[in-house]
């Protein structure tokens, strides 16, 4: 009997900075380029597996029964590879959320789709996300997901200090300090890379991942309206993608030091700097 479900949200991102933009949709062209698991998500996967190991160890349960780690990812069919990668390092099972209707989703539409999938899974205790993704770099999906599900959210988690079936105590990394929070479960957290060192998959793990059956959930299965997902369900859209033009205005000031200072002051004043 599964008493605790830990869900880890992961994403497949381009493994190169040399990506192209579709001029019609202004979205990334993912075909034909190497894709990898979002680096921040590797720490989320590792922490999910570690929490399972901790809970089963605390209960003297070496078989791992009663605790399950599930990885989910929303993306194109090839995103199944990052889900297999998560299974190879200890995740129990994985689910791919994939449909052409999901393409072009912003963080709001993405969180809505993920929330529906998590509600389908049901009876979750903890949802772990990476701090942010390399391609979007917003860090918005975690808190938006918590808002959709109506559960607490804590970001920038650098350590899970205590956890049981009902509550959790964490350490949060800030710019100039650490903060300690205690929250009830279920909840959503996003983790930073300080939280752990991701493990290397074992041979047994690779074999398990290779043979794992990973279901694909589409829009119809999740019972989502087309207006709620993808580009149509996004509150924001990319209107234009361009490289900003960089201009340099170089002037050499002549005369004595006093004259140069006076001229520099006039220049800065004209630019409304002083």
In this predicted model, what pLDDT tens digit does every residue of 57-103 receive, in sequence order?
Answer: 876 665 556 899 999 999 999 999 999 999 999 999 999 999 999 99
Interatomic CA distance for residues 6 and 119, integer angstroms: 13
Interatomic CA distance for residues 263 and 25, integer angstroms: 49
By CB atoms closer than 10 A (0-12, 13-18, 19+), residue 214 is middle
160 forms bridges with which residues in the sheet?
170
DSSP state of 119: H
Ramachandran bin of 104, using left for φ above 0, alpha for ψ from -120 to 50, beta for the remaining angles:
left
Element (H, E) at 180: strand 178-184
Which backbone phi and psi does 24 adopt, to 5 degrees?
A: -85, -40
Average pLDDT, the chain: 90
Q: List the domain boundaries for the chain.
A: 4-228
CATH number of 4-228, picked from 3.40.50.620, 3.65.10.10, 1.10.132.10, 3.30.365.10: 3.40.50.620
Residues 6+ apart with CB under 8 A from 71: 7, 8, 9, 10, 45, 48, 83, 86, 87, 91, 93, 94, 95
Contact 45, 89 (CB under 8 A): yes
Ramachandran bin of 223, using left for φ above 0, alpha for ψ from -120 to 50, beta for the remaining angles:
left
pLDDT (tens digit, 9 = 90+) per residue, 25-50?
A: 656 665 667 789 999 999 999 999 99
Q: Give the per-residue pLDDT at 2.
A: 73
Residues 6+ apart with CB under 8 A from 240: 26
Report for 8-17, 56-65, 203-212: range of highest mean pLDDT = 203-212
This prediction has a pTM of 0.83
Contact 82, 10 (CB under 8 A): yes
User: C-alpha distances in angstroms, 159 versus 125, 166, 192, 197?
Assistant: 17, 18, 9, 12
Question: Which residue matches tokens 């205690």?
Answer: 182
Q: Give the model's confidence band at 251: pLDDT under 50 very low, under 70 low, under 90 confident, else very high.
A: confident
C-alpha distance across the termini of the chain, in Å: 69
Residues 6+ apart with CB under 8 A from 115: 145, 148, 149
pLDDT (tens digit, 9 = 90+) per residue, 163-199?
A: 998 999 999 999 899 999 999 999 999 999 999 999 9
């Amino acid at each position: 009997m599964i008493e605790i479900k830990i869900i880890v949200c992961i994403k497949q991102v381009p493994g190169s900075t040399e990506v192209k933009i579709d001029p019609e949709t202004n979205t990334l062209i993912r075909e034909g380029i190497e894709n990898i698991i979002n680096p921040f998500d590797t720490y989320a996967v590792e922490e999910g597996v570690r929490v399972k190991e901790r809970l089963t160890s605390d209960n003297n349960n070496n078989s791992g029964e009663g605790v399950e780690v599930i990885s989910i990812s929303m993306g194109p069919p090839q995103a199944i590879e990052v889900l297999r990668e998560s299974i190879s390092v200890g995740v129990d099972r994985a689910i791919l959320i994939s449909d052409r209707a999901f393409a072009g989703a912003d963080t709001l539409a993405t969180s809505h789709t993920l929330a529906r999938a998590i509600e389908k899974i049901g009876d979750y205790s903890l949802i772990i996300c990476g701090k942010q993704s390399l391609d979007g770099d917003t860090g918005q999906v975690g808190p938006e997901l918590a808002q959709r599900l109506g559960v607490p959210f804590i970001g920038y988690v650098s350590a899970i200090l205590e956890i049981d079936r009902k509550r959790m105590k964490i350490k949060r990394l800030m710019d100039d300090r650490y903060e300690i929070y205690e929250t009830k479960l279920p909840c959503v957290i996003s983790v930073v890379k300080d939280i752990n060192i991701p493990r290397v998959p074992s041979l047994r793990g690779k074999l398990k991942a290779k043979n794992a059956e990973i279901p694909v959930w589409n829009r119809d299965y999740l019972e989502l309206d087309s207006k709620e997902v993808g580009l149509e369900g996004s509150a924001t859209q990319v209107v234009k993608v361009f490289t900003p033009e960089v201009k340099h205005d170089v002037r050499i000031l002549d005369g004595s030091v006093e004259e140069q200072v006076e001229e520099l002051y006039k220049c800065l004043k004209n630019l409304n700097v002083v």
